Chains A and B, each alone.
Chain A
Amino acid sequence: MADDQTVATAAGASNTGKSRLTFADVEVGATTAKAGKRAGNPYLPQIATVVDIIQETPNIKSLRVRFDDPGVQAGLSFEPGQVGQLGIFGVGESTFAINSSTSQASDHLQFSVMKAGEVTSALHELHIGDKVGVRAPMGCGFPVDAWKGKSILYIMGGIGSAALRATINYTLEHRSDYDNISILYGARTPLDLTYKYNIVEWEARDDIDAVITVDREFPGWDGRVGFVPAVLEEMNPNPANTIAITCGPPIMIKFVLQSLQKLQFGDDQIYTTLEKRMKCGIGICGRCNIGPRYVCVDGPVFSMAELRELPDEL
């Protein structure tokens, strides 16, 4: 014990009162869907059935899943921005943003999957009625409560919409808690726009400002044309009392961050949600770190101010 303290003080740590868990502290055998952080087996997926599949774009499908154990589904809740691991037994698991509304948590969870590699391709082969294993919810969501009274600006590209949809829905369902809400969404072509059924609604509402853009002219598209960062600068949003949240391909995020700085947004007004290769999803296996922070448990949501503290390993 004396040794431990020597090391602790020498390394600069203070006495924190943190402790380790034992079997007595957890619900033995329970999944994260059932017991959250008190899961006795956070590796164990909760079995769910695919209840609907929506072809969002040529390479993105939304899978809506419901836990087979009705008690677990009924008792589920999550924060907007949290993620889940969706897996097929025999293929593997991958991380996806939960993009259904938090208000529907007791009915189903929805994930949008872009076909990329092994697991995502297998997920694209699923049929309604197939079984999947789900470990959710995981990670930390957006601080939507702290944002009450502020204006919210969503800036998203491509599949990045999946990571923000639950948060958009949350702020729309609690519309009066927020000042202006704006959504800037861009995709390569009109065919690559996800959630077209939501876009219709956003555009129809007069209490939100939705700007949809595609990278270049496309037959039949009479909407806006231009890259997201450029359109953002044209929109010229007022940074006063505004939170900007961005998610999309790394290259888009990079330029959006530059544009936001040009527009005088401060580091604590900018949030993003990150991707890293993940396995365990519970802060143990080690691979998803950016310096001392683990995307799976400390993220995936980070403010720009937090990211500035970290090594350049995005």
Chain B
Amino acid sequence: MKFLTTDQLDAFLGYVAGQARVVAPVKDDKGVVLFRPWAPGMPVELDVLLSKQSAKEYVFRQSETYLKFGYTMEGLAAAQTESPEVAHAAATEAEVAAVDVAKAQDARVKAFETVVVDPVNEAPAQVIFGLRPCDVRGFVQMDNVFSGYGGFYFDPYYNAKREATTLVAVTCRDPRSTCFCTSVGGGPAGTEGADALLTQVEGGLTFETFTPKGEALGAFPGFAEVSQAQSLYAETVKETAASRVAPAFDLEGVRDQLRENIEHGDWHDLAMRCISCGTCTYVCPNCYCFNITDEIVETRGERMRTWDNCFNPMYTLETSGHNPRDIKSNRFRNRFSHKFWYYPDKYDSLLCSGCGRCVANCPTRIDIREVVRTMGSPRPVTVTGEEA
């Protein structure tokens, strides 16, 4: 453990910024705290507990181009003027085979050039400084999804940025009423996924490291050795903070009860107020769903992915008009069941780190703790209600 005096904080960030991009919580002129690229002279906001949005954007971009492509002008022109036979009927399998190869020699092969570029996974080294431990865990929870945990696929765009990122957490001295990290296995000084942890004590911050990435930051020459008093102080800060996070629910049995209650009418009652705005998904440090779209102007185009939200009816709407989650309570049920049942089934942990952002930012005051307490415990049998 090391010690950083308050007046050395800027020098420390400056030192880090000499090696990597620094992203830190900064208060804008409207008083909103958000993670922003830091430059020397910018005051870092460590007293406001939670940034309005999580910092997931710096690894999982809100919108990200992942393919670029182009057509040649001549190709497009040729394709528009020539119109060779488009398709043929086939009466026998032999007839299908017979027309096959010759047709492929069509002039269009040369004229209609497709260029595909796999954009380099641009991932300069970055240090995200001043994260709350719940936000750090948000990354760990997304890591499972994007890194093929359990035998699935590997996402190079996420992982390139993730590998180049160092996560520096800061202990929450003053948890809010919406915090419930301790109910989901974390804590205000939790270190899961953190490369380093700072704790504000009298006169400065203690600095602990847990990984080689964290240790690299420890090379800053302005650190002092920590005194016993300072490290005791830090322990007290941590313990006090943990004791101030109110228990929200008991996780034991929640998954089984969600399974049990999947068709229960209480989902309908809980979802009633929700206006499907999706705010809860955008502010969440671990909601990771995305959409994929193509854009093209004349001959140049891009394929990109953009954060999506499972509350939007379009999310599952099929071309035929059929929608497997057509009623709001089914979409509502999906978000909470995903976090406490579906994801745990696949990835052996939870998809919620208890940051409370969805509670604090929901315009209709939907409270995930209440949802888990209600649907994650035995329910009296009711008749399923009809949705208006």
Q: Using a CB–CB distance below 8 Å, which chain A residues touch chain B?
A: 1, 3-4, 6-8, 10-14, 16, 18-23, 25-26, 28-29, 32, 37, 39-45, 47, 49-55, 61, 64, 66, 89-93, 116-117, 120, 125-131, 133, 196-198, 200-201, 250, 275-277, 279-280, 282-287, 289-292, 297, 311-314
Contact status B149-A89, CB under 8 Å: no
Query: Told that A286-B290, A313-B330 touch, could you supply 14 new A-B pairs with CB distance under 8 A?
Result: A3-B185, A3-B190, A12-B253, A18-B151, A22-B159, A26-B156, A29-B156, A37-B151, A89-B116, A129-B84, A129-B106, A130-B112, A197-B93, A311-B337
A22 CB contacts on chain B under 8 angstroms: 147, 159, 163
B105 CB contacts on chain A under 8 angstroms: 129
B349 CB contacts on chain A under 8 angstroms: 4, 7-8, 11, 13
Contact status B116-A25, CB under 8 Å: no
Sort chain B's interface into a size bin.
Answer: 35 or more
Q: Given A11-B349, A12-B255, A54-B96, A129–B107 Cβ distance below 8 Å?
A: yes
Contact status B153-A279, CB under 8 Å: no
Q: Choose among A19, A55, A130 the residue that contacts B108 (Cβ–Cβ < 8 A).
A: A130
Q: Using a CB–CB distance below 8 Å, which chain B residues touch chain A?
A: 66-67, 69, 71, 79, 83-93, 95-96, 99-101, 103-109, 112-114, 116, 118, 143-157, 159-160, 163, 184-187, 190-192, 251-256, 262-263, 288-296, 301, 303, 305, 308, 310, 315-320, 322, 324-325, 330, 333-334, 337-338, 340-342, 344-346, 348-350
Question: Residue on B with the closest CB to A132?
Answer: B114
Question: Residue on A with the closest CB to B68?
Answer: A89
Q: Given A13-B348, A20-B143, A314-B324, A129–B187 Cβ distance below 8 Å?
A: no
CB of B304 to closest CB in A, whole Å: 11
Q: Choose among A117, A133, A284 the residue that contacts B155 (Cβ–Cβ < 8 A).
A: A284
A116 CB contacts on chain B under 8 angstroms: 319-320
CB of B253 to closest CB in A, whole Å: 8
B325 CB contacts on chain A under 8 angstroms: 313
CB of B362 to closest CB in A, whole Å: 20
CB of A238 to closest CB in B, whole Å: 31
A129 CB contacts on chain B under 8 angstroms: 84, 103-109, 112
CB of A84 to closest CB in B, whole Å: 15
Contact status A28-B156, CB under 8 Å: yes
A-B contacts, 23 of them at CB < 8 A, read: A3-B190, A4-B185, A7-B185, A11-B255, A11-B348, A11-B349, A23-B160, A42-B155, A43-B67, A52-B100, A89-B67, A89-B116, A90-B71, A91-B294, A116-B319, A128-B84, A128-B104, A129-B107, A280-B292, A285-B308, A286-B338, A291-B342, A313-B324
Question: Residue on A with the closest CB to B191?
Answer: A3
Question: Residue on B with the closest CB to A280?
Answer: B292
Contact status B310-A3, CB under 8 Å: no
Question: Residue on A with the closest CB to B345?
Answer: A292
**Interface class of chain A by DSSP:** loop
Contact status A21-B147, CB under 8 Å: yes
Contact status B149-A90, CB under 8 Å: no
Contact status B96-A277, CB under 8 Å: no
Whole-angstrom CA separation of A179 from B66 in the bound complex = 49
Among A16, A196, A250, A284, find the residue whose CB has the most chain B CB atoms closer than 10 A.
A284
Q: Choose among B91, B155, B316 the residue that contacts A276 (Cβ–Cβ < 8 A).
A: B316
Question: Residue on A with the closest CB to B309?
Answer: A286
Among A41, A128, A291, find the residue whose CB has the most chain B CB atoms closer than 10 A.
A128
Q: Given A28-B156, A52-B103, A276-B324, A89–B192 Cβ distance below 8 Å?
A: no
B185 CB contacts on chain A under 8 angstroms: 3-4, 6-7, 10
B88 CB contacts on chain A under 8 angstroms: 53-55
Contact status A42-B292, CB under 8 Å: no
Question: Residue on A with the closest CB to B66?
Answer: A43
Contact status A53-B348, CB under 8 Å: no
Q: Choose among B153, B291, B308, B342 the residue that contacts A292 (Cβ–Cβ < 8 A).
A: B342
Contact status A44-B153, CB under 8 Å: no
CB of A27 to closest CB in B, whole Å: 10
B333 CB contacts on chain A under 8 angstroms: 311
Contact status B150-A18, CB under 8 Å: yes
Contact status A90-B292, CB under 8 Å: no
Question: Residue on A with the closest CB to B107?
Answer: A129
Contact status A12-B344, CB under 8 Å: yes
Question: Residue on B with the closest CB to A120?
Answer: B319
CB of B71 to closest CB in A, whole Å: 8
Contact status B149-A198, CB under 8 Å: no
Among A13, A22, A64, A129, find the residue whose CB has the most chain B CB atoms closer than 10 A.
A129
Q: Given A284-B155, A287-B289, A3–B252 Cβ distance below 8 Å?
A: no
Question: Residue on B with the closest CB to A28?
Answer: B156
